[in-house]
Structure 1
Amino acid sequence: MADPDSTASSDDERGTAPEEAISAETAPGEGATEDADLDTEELRKQVEEKYDFDDFGPADMAEMTAEEWDVAFDEETWITGDDLLDRVAQDLRSRVANRDVFARIERHRDPPRVLAYSDEGYAIVYPDGSLEGEGTVMRDVKPTVALCSMDSYDVPENVPDRPLPEPEAVPEGGGELGNRMLQAVAGVQLLAGLALLGSGVLAATGIIGNAGTSIALLIVAGLAFVGVSLVLFFTVANARLSDTFRAEEYRDRLRAIGLEDGERPDFVPELDPQNTGEQTDREDADEAGG
């Protein structure tokens, strides 16, 4: 006959075994969760050290992995709606004013959206942060939307509304002071060279100098000074010609985005009937370039 005490002891062991097994099974799961949270915090710190979010651009976005994106941009704290569009429009104005991008910016209210376009592409930003577009403008707008959706990102203030000039107001070049300085140096070099050449000729005819005068040295030095002056004059002429070409190219780009006739490029899609792009439907149309 079995001992009652031993039977009771066996029942107790069998009764407590499942609870201990459950505890043993759940403990590793809790540890894994803590490890995952720790890994996320470590990855977030690495992302903050790796990327400069004050100067976050398309190259950084392309380099960022999916895991880095998830820890850098918390969906629960994203800014959306009109606030996002206002921030995007203002940040884009700042970027184009600083010549980081070239685009014309339109902030539409009904329905809410931001339209950015140039002669090389376009981008439409919607209140939920989604994007539609193509070309270099789409590439430049993507990081702006990502940054402006973050509450921790400070949008620049005191941004000019219309940084772009009218096409005919574009100056020929901005380096005229440097050109004039080079011209002055070239002029001095030329005068010195001519003086040395003249001295060499006079020394050769015996008008000046004596038997120890090195005629060849005077002529060589004079030719060297004249050569340097010609190089400097050529540099100035080339710089002015380049400035002229760049200014004309810039004017053409301004005309292409409608600063003269108000027409968008053909590849920019038409907005829906509620917002055809007329002035009454816009908050403003900001022009800026780079």
Structure 2
Amino acid sequence: MADPQSTPPGDDADQQGATADSGIDADGEQSSGSATDEASVEALRAEVEEKYDFDDFGPEDMAKMTAQEWEVAFEEESWITGGALLDRVADDLRSRVATREVFARVERHTDPQRVLAYSDEGYALVFPDGTVEGHGTVLRDVKPTVALCSMDDYDVPEPPSDDPLPEPDEVPEGGSELGNWMLQLIAGIQLLAGIVLLGGGFLAAIDQIGGAGASPVLLIVAGLAFLAIALVLFLVVANARLSDKFRSEEYRDRLRAIGLSDGERPEFVPALEPDSSGESEDGQHEG
């Protein structure tokens, strides 16, 4: 008697064939999916290379890149990490601070290995693996810097010093006075011309100069126009000097707020505890 649970030989063959066909279909779909993904990556890479000039790639370009663009543009195996990355980040930030692109105090800590940058509005803490945490405008400025410094072909500029921020008392009252002096000279010439024209108009009105064709009204109007121009130029110079003085005082206040006078950090800046690894004697290098 046949076993009621047994399967006819023909059915076994059909099932094996169906299984093999499904396996082939799955492999085919997987291969097709992989090919599609590779094509998408290549298309995105070509788009990124056309969109960005990597010979002149800077923090502004880095800030515009999306995560997908970053992944296809740079190979993860070539990224710089560890202490070398932190050294590059510290040097690059100090260079940008020196050129007034970034306002921050930069500290290169070695125990633990960190780069800490902070201002009166926020901070950024950089870890050896390239992770960045913090808040405010400093975090916004530091993120693209870390990304650039992790690239082996990015040349980090040499900072002028480890402490590029000036002391508050060293900040001058204003910028260069050359432009103001030039405007004052032009305003003075306009003023003299206006006075001469007004005087000529007055003399023409009493028939002391000029003939029948002389127009006192025209001379007086021209003189008043020159005087108005001179007044506007003098006001521009005065406003520029007041603005320079205000900006200088504001800059001094920001320098004091980050502790350049008393050495105290803002309260929101996290304290870094040594990890007891004995990597450094002093634990930090400020700049």
Q: Are the counterparts in 1 of residues 194 and 222 from structure 2 also a CA contact under 8 Å?
A: yes
CA distance in 2, matches of 1:87, 1:80: 10
CA distance in 2, matches of 1:25, 1:38: 20
Q: Are the counterparts in 1 of residues 201 and 216 from structure 2 also a CA contact under 8 Å?
A: yes
> How far 1:203 moved relative to its partner?
1.9
Q: What amino acid is the match of 1:205?
A: I
Question: Equivalences for 1:42-81 in 2 at 5 Å?
Answer: 42-52=43-53, 54-57=57-60, 61=63, 64-81=65-82
Partner of 1:204: 205
RMSD: 2.8
Q: Are the counterparts in 1 of residues 112 and 274 from structure 2 also a CA contact under 8 Å?
A: no
Q: What amino acid is the match of 2:121?
A: E
Partner of 1:5: none
CA distance in 1, matches of 2:138, 2:259: 16
Q: CA 1:260 to 1:25, structure 2 compared with 1: closer, same or farther past 3 Å?
A: closer
> 1 or 2 for the larger relative contact order (CA 8 Å, sep ≥6)?
1
> How far 1:28 moved relative to its partner?
4.5
Q: What amino acid is the match of 1:81?
A: G
CA distance in 2, matches of 1:159, 1:42: 42
CA distance in 1, matches of 2:168, 2:159: 24
> How far 1:225 moved relative to its partner?
0.8
CA distance in 2, matches of 1:79, 1:100: 24
Question: Equivalences for 1:6-155 in 2 at 5 Å?
Answer: 21=21, 26-52=27-53, 54-57=57-60, 61=63, 64-155=65-156
Q: Are the counterparts in 2 of residues 107 and 114 from structure 1 also a CA contact under 8 Å?
A: yes
Partner of 1:244: 245
CA distance in 1, matches of 2:281, 2:162: 15
CA distance in 2, matches of 1:267, 1:24: 59
Q: Are the counterparts in 2 of residues 90 and 159 from structure 1 also a CA contact under 8 Å?
A: no
Runs of 4+ in 1 over 4 A off after TM superposition: 16-25
CA distance in 2, matches of 1:158, 1:137: 18
Percent same amino acid among aligned pairs? 62
> Unmatched 5+ residue regions in structure 1?
1-12
Q: What amino acid is the match of 1:48?
A: E
CA distance in 2, matches of 1:94, 1:143: 14
Spell out, residue by residue over 1:33-58, the C-alpha distance to the aligned partner (whole angstroms, 9 max, x if none): 2332232122122123324562233x
Q: Does 1:184 align with 2:185?
A: yes
User: Aligned to 2:123, what secondary structure does the other structure show?
Assistant: strand
Spell out, residue by residue over 1:235-275, the C-alpha distance to the aligned partner (whole angstroms, 9 max, x if none): 11111111110111111111111122211111112221559
Q: Are the counterparts in 1 of residues 91 and 159 from structure 2 also a CA contact under 8 Å?
A: no
Partner of 2:195: 194
Partner of 2:3: none
Q: CA 1:60 to 1:151, structure 2 compared with 1: closer, same or farther past 3 Å?
A: closer
User: Aligned to 1:280, what secondary structure does the other structure show?
Assistant: coil
CA distance in 2, matches of 1:24, 1:120: 58
CA distance in 1, matches of 2:24, 2:113: 54
> Unmatched 5+ residue regions in structure 2?
1-12
Q: What amino acid is the match of 1:87?
A: R
CA distance in 1, matches of 2:229, 2:281: 57
TM-score, normalised with respect to structure 2 = 0.83
Q: Does 1:232 align with 2:229?
A: no
Q: What amino acid is the match of 2:282?
A: T
CA distance in 1, matches of 2:132, 2:19: 53
> How far 1:101 moved relative to its partner?
1.2
Spell out, residue by residue over 1:206-228, the C-alpha distance to the aligned partner (whole angstroms, 9 max, x if none): 32223332111111111111111
Q: How many equivalent residue pairs?
A: 270
Q: CA 1:208 to 1:279, structure 2 compared with 1: closer, same or farther past 3 Å?
A: farther
CA distance in 1, matches of 2:271, 2:89: 21
Q: What amino acid is the match of 1:91?
A: D
Spell out, residue by residue over 1:80-112, the C-alpha distance to the aligned partner (whole angstroms, 9 max, x if none): 110111111111112222222110000011111
Q: Are the counterparts in 1 of residues 94 and 159 from structure 2 also a CA contact under 8 Å?
A: no
Q: What amino acid is the match of 1:126?
A: F
CA distance in 1, matches of 2:136, 2:147: 18
User: Aligned to 1:106, what secondary structure does the other structure show?
Assistant: strand
Partner of 2:282: 280
User: Aligned to 2:282, what secondary structure does the other structure show?
Assistant: helix
The answer to which of 90-99 and 242-251 deviates more is 90-99
CA distance in 1, matches of 2:259, 2:50: 42
